[in-house]
Amino acid sequence: MRRIQHADENPHEASEINVTPFIDVMLVLLVIFMVTAPLTTVNVPVDLPSSTEKPAPRPENPVFLTVNADHALTLGEESISTDNLPKALEIATRSNKDERIFLRADKTIDYGTLMSVMDKLRSAGYLKVALVNLQGQADGSAPAAKTEQ
């Protein structure tokens, strides 16, 4: 004889979670991330263009540090050596380490040289550096500063 179950009797409920679909989704995501991660790095040499954005307002007496094509440094209008850079900056900024330094570099300067100068600025305690570029290369506008923290 067969027994008929009614709704009021205790049915057996499955209390286990099936994790197989979860594992499948995680493995697919892992493969996607493994494929796309190497594509996010950039190893292409690039000649960066000038900016067409409006220039940031300049302070009254900006401190310009220029890296010339021959890798010589000029602070304002005065040529300086890399060894004298911290002392010359202290004089130019009146020992104000919070003053922004406007860094100009010739287009032919390599990235390593520019980073070396920025490292010297950082080791001297000057963390606020603005990179100066030509605004509107096509129309030949005056130079202005783009800020980089």
pLDDT tens string, the chain, 149 residues long: the values are 566 665 556 666 667 888 899 999 999 999 998 888 776 654 545 455 577 777 667 777 888 898 988 888 999 888 899 899 999 999 989 989 989 998 988 888 898 999 999 999 999 999 999 888 776 554 444 444 444 44
Is residue 107 within 8 A of residue 64, CB to CB? The reply is no
Q: How far apart are CA 51 and CA 55, in angstroms?
A: 9
Enter the tokens of residue 102: 């406007």
> Domains in the chain, ordered, with CATH?
63-148 (3.30.420.270)
Residues in contact with 147: Cβ distance below 8 Å, sequence separation at least 6, in sequence order: 56, 100, 130, 131
pTM, two decimals, is 0.55
Which residue has 């000057």 as its token pair?
126
Is residue 113 within 8 A of residue 74, CB to CB? The reply is no
